[in-house]
């Protein structure tokens, strides 16, 4: 079978610094693109069926792939994903696959891709696959660097994501990267974001809206602290944000055990992402990141010392059709 074209997209991971869950309801959040890459290789063939590493069933089992393909007129592709992110770890694995595949399907070459359009489409696809959620993950991966989603306009505006299901719109603004290293630790408990977001929806329906408001106000203070590169204040706000997430019901005894084991040795530590499992994010004192990672390992988590990835999802051009990328274009509807 002849390969028509091949595209390789590389996406960073993400860690929410402030405001997860509240951002779903339009409150502000701050998010970091982190240097844990996911590589999506897409090859197109002259055939009807699409596969994941050669398996049609494997492809159909991943709703993000099915929805991304459905949103274009492409067919007959084989997708291969290599990721340094644990699956369902709260570090953006599904958003990375979604935006990586969409970028490969819709961009002829690195310069033909528009991050604002890609961010809007990636959110539509992720929402269709997940049924709930905000554009925080997909916009972070498309923008790279540090961003606020739904903030009150401190940073330069990158784009706006239109409303979905009566929520939004969300303004996505660029914040400065203070240049620090961060420690993320995967608890080893995979958690599907959609399920946790739906459970929070029930708590909110039962009257927990004041917690969301407090998280939103805290995220605004977080944006100001990031602009000042005030490391101590960012850490303090992370601890406060964690307490509010626990009040919202997305912590667990195991997460509290992990957080307790490192809290006094960090400036701040919190759940990052949906919670109930997934990962936690810590800000260490300068130069103490490896020591904090070691403490995380001692309590049985999988730690990563990461930095902000200034680059968002990008296309890497590769053969065999053309070394210049001037290959027959895949459908780009």
User: Cβ closer to ligand MEV: 150 or 330?
Assistant: 150
* C-alpha pair distances (Å), 183 with each of 14, 111, 234, 287: 12, 33, 14, 12
Rounded to a whole number of angstroms, the minimum distance from the CB of residue 220 to ligand MEV is 16
Question: CB-wise, 21 or 231, nearer to ligand MEV?
Answer: 21
Q: Give least dist CB 250 to ligand MEV, A.
A: 8
Given candidates 28, 155, 273, 325, which one binds ligand MEV under the rule CB under 6 A?
273
Strands 170-175 and 268-272: unpaired
CA distance 230 to 306: 19
Each residue 284-323 as x (binds ligand MEV by CB under 6 A) or -, in order, gives ----------------------------------------
Regarding 133 and contact with ligand MEV (CB under 6 A), the answer is yes
* 151 binding ligand MEV? (CB under 6 A): no
Residues from 24 through 43 that contact ligand MEV (CB under 6 A): 24
Measured distance CA(84)–CA(304) in Å, rounded: 10
Least separation in angstroms between residue 231's CB and ligand MEV is: 23
Nearer to ligand MEV, 7 or 214 (CB): 214
Q: How near is the Cβ of 188 to ligand MEV at its closest, in Å?
A: 18
Q: What residues from 184 to 203 belong to the interface with ligand MEV (CB under 6 A)?
A: 193, 197
Residue 253, classified by CB atoms within 10 Å of its CB into exposed (0-12), middle (13-18) or buried (19+), is exposed
Which phi and psi (to 5°) does residue 311 adopt? -90, 135
Distance between CA 111 and CA 98 in Å, rounded?
A: 20
Residue span binding ligand MEV (CB under 6 A) among the ranges 17-25, 54-62, 163-171, 203-211: 17-25
Long-range pairs of 113-119 with CB within 8 A, sequence gap ≥ 24: 113/314, 113/315, 115/142, 115/143, 115/158, 115/159, 115/312, 115/313, 116/142, 116/158, 116/159, 118/142, 118/313, 119/143, 119/159, 119/161, 119/172
Q: Say whether residue 137 binds ligand MEV (CB under 6 A).
A: yes
- Which residues would be at the binding site for ligand MEV (CB under 6 A)? 16, 20-21, 23-24, 90, 133-134, 136-137, 193, 197, 273-274
């Amino acid at each position: 079978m002849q390969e028509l074209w091949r595209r390789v997209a590389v996406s960073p991971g993400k860690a929410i610094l402030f405001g997860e869950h509240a951002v779903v309801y339009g409150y502000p959040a701050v998010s970091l693109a982190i240097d844990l890459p996911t590589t999506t290789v897409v090859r197109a063939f002259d055939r009807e069926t699409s596969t994941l590493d050669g398996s049609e069933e494997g492809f159909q089992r991943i709703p993000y792939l099915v929805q991304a393909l459905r949103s274009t007129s492409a067919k007959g592709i084989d997708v291969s994903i290599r990721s340094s992110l644990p699956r369902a770890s709260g570090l953006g694995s599904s958003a990375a696959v979604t935006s990586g595949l969409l970028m490969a399907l819709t961009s002829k070459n690195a310069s033909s891709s528009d991050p604002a359009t890609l961010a809007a489409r990636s959110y539509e696809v992720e929402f269709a696959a997940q049924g709930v959620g905000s554009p925080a993950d997909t916009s972070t991966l498309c923008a790279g660097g540090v961003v606020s989603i739904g903030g009150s306009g401190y940073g330069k505006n990158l784009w706006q994501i239109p409303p979905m299901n009566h929520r939004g719109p969300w303004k996505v603004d660029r914040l400065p990267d203070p240049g620090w290293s961060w420690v993320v630790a995967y608890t080893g408990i995979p958690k599907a974001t959609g399920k946790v977001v739906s459970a929070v929806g029930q708590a909110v329906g039962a009257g927990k809206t004041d917690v969301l408001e407090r998280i939103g106000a805290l995220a605004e203070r977080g944006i100001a602290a990031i602009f000042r590169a005030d490391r101590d204040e960012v850490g303090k706000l992370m601890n406060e944000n964690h307490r509010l997430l626990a009040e919202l019901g997305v912590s667990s005894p195991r997460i509290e055990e992990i957080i307790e084991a490192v809290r006094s040795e960090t400036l701040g530590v919190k759940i990052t992402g949906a919670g109930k499992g997934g990962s936690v994010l810590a800000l260490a004192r300068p130069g103490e990141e490896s020591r904090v990672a070691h403490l995380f390992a001692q309590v049985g988590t999988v730690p990563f010392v990461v930095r902000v990835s200034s680059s968002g999802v990008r296309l890497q051009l590769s053969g065999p059709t053309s070394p210049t990328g001037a290959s027959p274009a895949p459908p780009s509807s």
